[in-house]
């Protein structure tokens, strides 16, 4: 098939959305499909099968803020979108942002089969205007993206049952959904990596993710300040984002200053393997690839109990979970696992065993099957255009 993959966000593989997009693109090409990529990544301009729209400008001040988040946004050039879709046999959209919305509408008008990933919670947007705790605002966002994109789709890829349940509950609709993990690359695995010399005498706690309100890294920093082991703990916050100045300010009370750094792919896998604990304090998380990567490396992984996060379902049991945004409770959990190394090693083995179902080759196989199935269904539709249901609403990956 000729498949157009629409990526509002693409660039260096240093955030979850880009990693997931490139994993799918590589897999589809390896399966023999001709894959076109519609994006705003200017470094791809001139490359075969890349259709690059201009970057959207918001003015100097706002552009600076967008860049700090680590993304560039697309300006919707209809002629380039049209070129990417002309002759395509299937369209897969990664995000319900400007480029994705425009491509979905155009593809629908061209009667092309459409699938789309659900890789963005409403809170990812509403947190930037400090309204992420307002139910009505988040519901409005979910209804907006359903109306302007997901209702056009023959199939929707949900990385977790959690986010499918949230979305369908907010829009009061059953969707043609497929629950399939984004998966973890094979090179993300347990291996012996020595701590760098500067961390050799430290207890290293790693947390990976964009510096933002919903990722809640401040909860970790405040918890370490309350830890009985605070003089020995080295925190590494792997990422970048708008909250960095705030995080640096509240870190001044810590005896050991945290490391703030955006790591490359090989570097972050090494860091996961040499750290002593991995903490994922996010309160809004539809899957959490960073958390799954920690589990794939057999690392002691601590997560929040947030009802709006899927990562709590990855925990071995309640001993690995703390109360969301409660630094004192997180300090309690951290201190327990530092002071129980033998039990920690036992739990690390349990995490490693649980990671098999998230291996990328199986998840990508299911993604390919979803695309092929929805493509067949689209062309087998009745004349009035009704969608065929995807296994009564269950997806090929629901067993995950």
pLDDT in tens, 96-136: 999 999 999 999 999 999 999 999 999 888 887 888 788 99
At 253-311, the pLDDT tens digits run 999 999 999 998 899 999 999 999 999 999 999 898 899 999 999 999 999 999 999 99
370 has which bridge partners?
none
Q: How confident is the model at residue 391 (pLDDT cuts 50, 70, 90)?
A: very low
Tell me the average pLDDT across 138-164: 96
Within 8 A by CB and 6+ apart from 11, the residues are 18, 41, 43, 71, 72
Segments in the chain forming alpha helices (H): 16-30, 60-69, 78-85, 98-109, 122-126, 135-148, 161-171, 217-226, 244-250, 265-274, 289-296, 327-339, 341-354, 360-379
* Domain boundaries of the chain, sorted by first residue: 2-183+360-393, 197-358
Q: What whole-number distance in Å separates Cα of residue 390 and Cα of residue 156?
A: 10
Query: How much is the pLDDT for 70?
Result: 55
Q: What whole-number distance in Å separates Cα of residue 59 and Cα of residue 288?
A: 32
Q: Which two tokens stand for residue 249?
A: 């300010």
| b/e burial code for range 78-92 (CB count within 10 A of at least 16 → b) | eebbeebbeebebbb
At 240-251, the pLDDT tens digits run 998 999 999 999
Q: What whole-number distance in Å separates Cα of residue 15 and Cα of residue 239?
A: 8
Q: Give the range among 67-81, 105-119, 201-215, 238-252 with minimum mean pLDDT.
A: 67-81
CATH class of 197-358: alpha beta
Q: What whole-number distance in Å separates Cα of residue 30 and Cα of residue 47?
A: 18
Query: How much is the pLDDT for 60?
Result: 61
Contact 88, 112 (CB under 8 A): yes
Contact 160, 373 (CB under 8 A): no
Within 8 A by CB and 6+ apart from 31, the residues are 368
Of 85, 82, 62, nearest to 72 by C-alpha is: 62
CB atoms within 10 A of CB 356: 9
Percent of the chain scoring above 90 in pLDDT = 77
Q: Which long-range contacts (CB under 8 A, 24 or more apart) does 29-32 make?
A: 31/368
Q: H helices then E strands: how many in the chain?
A: 14, 13
> Are 2-183+360-393 and 197-358 in the same CATH fold?
yes
Contact 73, 101 (CB under 8 A): no
Q: Is the pTM for the entire model greater than 0.85? A: no
DSSP state of 277: E
Q: What whole-number distance in Å separates Cα of residue 15 and Cα of residue 210?
A: 8
Query: How much is the pLDDT for 358?
Result: 85
Q: What whole-number distance in Å separates Cα of residue 36 and Cα of residue 40?
A: 13
At 10-68, the pLDDT tens digits run 988 877 788 889 999 999 999 999 999 999 999 999 999 999 999 887 666 555 655 65
Within 8 A by CB and 6+ apart from 141, the residues are 122, 125, 126
Query: How much is the pLDDT for 357?
Result: 78
The CATH architecture that domain 2-183+360-393 belongs to is 3-Layer(aba) Sandwich (3.40)
Q: How confident is the model at residue 387 (pLDDT cuts 50, 70, 90)?
A: very low
Of 304, 300, 308, nearest to 281 by C-alpha is: 304
CB-based burial label for 13 (10 Å; 0-12, 13-18, 19+): middle
């Amino acid at each position: 098939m000729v498949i157009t993959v629409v990526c509002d966000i693409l660039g260096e593989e240093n955030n979850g959305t880009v990693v997931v997009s490139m994993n799918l693109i590589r897999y589809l090409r390896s399966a023999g499909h001709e894959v076109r990529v519609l994006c705003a990544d200017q470094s791809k301009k001139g490359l075969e099968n890349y259709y690059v729209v201009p970057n959207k400008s918001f003015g100097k001040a706002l552009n600076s803020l967008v860049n700090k988040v680590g993304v560039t946004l697309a300006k919707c050039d209809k002629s380039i979108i049209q070129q990417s879709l002309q002759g395509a046999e299937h369209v897969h959209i990664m995000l319900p942002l400007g480029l994705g919305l425009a491509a979905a509408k155009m593809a629908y008008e061209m009667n092309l089969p459409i699938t789309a990933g659900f890789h963005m919670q409403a809170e990812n947007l509403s947190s930037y205007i400090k309204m992420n705790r307002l139910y009505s605002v988040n519901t409005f966002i979910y209804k907006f993206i359903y109306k302007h994109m997901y209702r056009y789709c023959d199939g929707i890829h949900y990385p977790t049952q959690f986010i499918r349940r949230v979305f369908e509950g907010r829009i009061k609709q059953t969707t043609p959904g497929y629950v399939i993990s984004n998966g973890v690359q094979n090179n993300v695995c347990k291996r012996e990596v020595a701590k760098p010399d500067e961390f050799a005498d430290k207890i290293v706690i790693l947390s990976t993710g964009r510096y933002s309100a919903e990722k809640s890294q401040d909860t970790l920093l405040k918890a370490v300040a309350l830890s009985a082991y605070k003089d020995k703990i080295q925190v590494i916050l792997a990422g970048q984002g708008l909250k960095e100045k705030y995080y640096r300010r509240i870190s001044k009370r810590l005896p050991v200053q945290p490391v703030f750094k955006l790591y490359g792919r090989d570097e972050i896998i090494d860091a996961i393997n040499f750290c002593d604990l991995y903490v994922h304090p996010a309160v809004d998380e539809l899957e959490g690839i960073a958390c799954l990567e920690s589990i794939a490396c057999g690392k002691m992984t601590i997560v929040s109990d947030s009802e709006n996060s899927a990562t709590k379902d990855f925990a071995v049991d309640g001993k690995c979970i703390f109360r969301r945004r409660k630094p004192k409770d997180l300090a309690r959990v951290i201190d327990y696992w530092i002071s129980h190394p033998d039990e920690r090693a036992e739990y690390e083995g349990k995490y490693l065993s649980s990671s098999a179902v998230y291996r990328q080759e199986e998840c990508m196989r299911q993604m390919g099957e979803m695309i092929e199935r929805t493509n067949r269904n689209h062309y087998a539709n009745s004349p009035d255009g009704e969608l065929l249901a995807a296994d009564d609403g269950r997806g090929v990956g629901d067993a995950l």
